[in-house]
Structure 1
């Protein structure tokens, strides 16, 4: 079991790193003849890592993919049969609700297309706007009736729509440190529906459980602090960020607060190519409250079976075009594999994540 990543401890780590490193400008490294270096940006999976000079713009696009499979309770693997016969159904006692979970998710995929815009309001303040479009798919096994391990069939649910919009300011404290002051605007839907297969063999269309909804439905604060520094051949950094939910949404619940801490290091193979390694720890709380329209003998409908703690390792590469027609364009690729996942109740653990992105400043 891993230790939860508390914000205060992580901030102290960032402060210690900052005090141990010399100040260095955030923009184009002077060791590169073109003034452009692949080290000038953090790995593509890190958001809000760098500032821009006054009047400078940057546009970006990221494609983010996540695969989940299997079932875990805490850090232990369990089988669908174990879930269907031993895990109590929170809604037992309501009409048609069996005593144990009879619908078990087995895999999930999520794709996110994210568009971003950054603008240097001054040399010390950069504004950032990010929007996204999200697609989710989840596969399930339905067990027959109210008990036993006889499988009735399988089904897949799918949701897709515009997600929540992020607006933030990066406020410089020194050349290497800035605050991340953000807010999440609830533009994503929280009333998605899909057709399911019930243990009694019916196929109704119902509101999908919490992991399959697209937005949060709440206004959220997203504070953070970022440290990043570099030399001609190496770069390194650390970031702490959080999500604080500001009350319940219109359906009567809020997703759990989040806290994330990450550290990374990069090495340049050439001015336009840099390899990276990164570690990220994250803690996510359970859902607070309940949507009365989300009910069923499935783990994803239980607000207590959400969230947990994870530690993930990432490897990536950044490319920066230092000349020619594509000068100034950047391409980043980063893949992640979980090292530890300690999940609340039966949940699907993450198998891997992949982020690919392009950026252009002007």
Structure 2
């Protein structure tokens, strides 16, 4: 199945649901009062409470519009676990990669003909603080500051050929990621239907010159620049546009989003990460006034790296810009909690777990195993 078809399925799953809702007419406007966590009439902002507090998955940004003068503060934690190699849609063992996959740098002094330093597993964790402000009832501005930690384990094979394992090594990087700023604007509100447009800008605040100790096939441990996946930022200004549709019927809300990442030129090290396009669709059910459950599907395509950092090299797939990128389809399940009383009243908590069901990687590269998101937010 091509990504084009998968993307259409993801968008269609959300958009196709708008037909029966539209047939329900004005009755849906009244039903929307069940989709808020606060009585917005008491706040003096009328129907804007729908945009501010409509329930949905925490993994979809750009759903919220705040009333003028309102502030929302939040914290998000993200974890992604990667394990095992994949080339295209087929898994690849470390031995296979070390004996059959060509080394991009073969022919250069000391470089073997095939890959000899093979990534085994990797985890990425992100802590992100965010702030949103209602510039008007129809425009919300935002800023997000991430702190990123990455850890990778790699297997080093002895010498230029063969399957004798010399040992393993660990690599680590952490620090400030790329800060994001942006604005979400309401394009259309008709009954329970809403359409928002988001335009974000990612600033090159994350490091792209992280270094670590390597373990070479000759048993040496020099300090070199880490591979592209271990860097903390893109090094470029990146546009992040998105178009988000959402609606609701009674206790059920649903929607779809198309988003992208567009790299604006090359960074100071001579390359740019691949552009990205993703489509997602979701449905959410409010099981009780204080909890909602959600299911979501996302199809994403990430392009290859354009250019090369001359300081990144070695007999590892992580040093080859052409090994990056590919297609992925992920299914998510989540929950959102809104305590109705006590000290936690007015605070919201969310969780979302994702598992890829399809990966077609340009590789050989590590495949994604699972991902987890946690979120807290409050508004005043």
Normalising by the smaller structure, the TM-score range is over 0.9
- Residues 1:251 and 1:117: Cα distance change in structure 2 (over 3 Å): same
| Matched residue SS, 1:348 | strand
For 1:148, the equivalent position in structure 2 comes to: 162
| Matched residue SS, 1:64 | strand
Write out aligned runs for 1:266-277 (5 A).
266-277=284-295
How far the C-alpha of 1:20 sits from its partner, in A, is 6.2
For 1:96, the equivalent position in structure 2 comes to: 110
How far the C-alpha of 1:3 sits from its partner, in A, is 2.2
How far the C-alpha of 1:228 sits from its partner, in A, is 1.4
For 2:184, the equivalent position in structure 1 comes to: 170
- Residues 1:32 and 1:42: Cα distance change in structure 2 (over 3 Å): closer
| Matched residue SS, 1:94 | coil
Write out aligned runs for 1:29-68 (5 A).
29-30=33-34, 34-35=38-39, 40-68=54-82
For 2:236, the equivalent position in structure 1 comes to: 218
Write out aligned runs for 1:132-147 (5 A).
132-147=146-161
What's the RMSD between the two structures over aligned residues?
Answer: 2.3
| Matched residue SS, 1:279 | strand
How far the C-alpha of 1:354 sits from its partner, in A, is 0.3
How far the C-alpha of 1:96 sits from its partner, in A, is 1.2
- Residues 1:170 and 1:134: Cα distance change in structure 2 (over 3 Å): same
For 1:347, which of 361, 365, 369 is the aligned residue? Answer: 365
Q: Distance in 2 between matches of 1:151 and 1:246?
A: 42
| Matched residue SS, 1:84 | helix
Q: Is 2:342 aligned against 1:324?
A: yes
- Residues 1:18 and 1:224: Cα distance change in structure 2 (over 3 Å): farther
For 1:3, the equivalent position in structure 2 comes to: 3
Q: Deviations over 1:290-334 (max 9, x none)?
A: 000001100010001000000000001100122333222100000
Q: Is 2:266 aligned against 1:262?
A: no
Write out aligned runs for 1:149-298 (5 A).
149-175=163-189, 176-298=194-316
- Residues 1:5 and 1:116: Cα distance change in structure 2 (over 3 Å): farther
**Paired residues, number:** 360
Q: Distance in 2 between matches of 1:18 and 1:244?
A: 30
The structure that is helix-richer by fraction is 2
Gaps of 5+ in 2: 41-49
Kept after mapping to 2: 8 A contact 1:186/1:217: yes
Q: Distance in 2 between matches of 1:314 and 1:14?
A: 15
Kept after mapping to 2: 8 A contact 1:132/1:162: yes
- Residues 1:41 and 1:263: Cα distance change in structure 2 (over 3 Å): same
With 261-270 and 227-236 compared, the bigger mean Cα shift is at 227-236
Q: Distance in 2 between matches of 1:331 and 1:109?
A: 24
How far the C-alpha of 1:345 sits from its partner, in A, is 2.2
TM-score by length of 1: 0.94
TM-score by length of 2: 0.89
For 2:90, the equivalent position in structure 1 comes to: 76
Q: Deviations over 1:19-53 (max 9, x none)?
A: 7645978xx83576853899723211111221111
For 1:300, the equivalent position in structure 2 comes to: 318
Q: Distance in 2 between matches of 1:289 and 1:259?
A: 20
Kept after mapping to 1: 8 A contact 2:251/2:286: yes
Gaps of 5+ in 1: none
How far the C-alpha of 1:18 sits from its partner, in A, is 5.5
Q: Distance in 2 between matches of 1:68 and 1:12?
A: 29
With 105-114 and 172-181 compared, the bigger mean Cα shift is at 172-181
Q: Deviations over 1:249-297 (max 9, x none)?
A: 0000000000010000011110111111000000000000000000110
Q: Deviations over 1:133-167 (max 9, x none)?
A: 00000100000010011111100000001000111
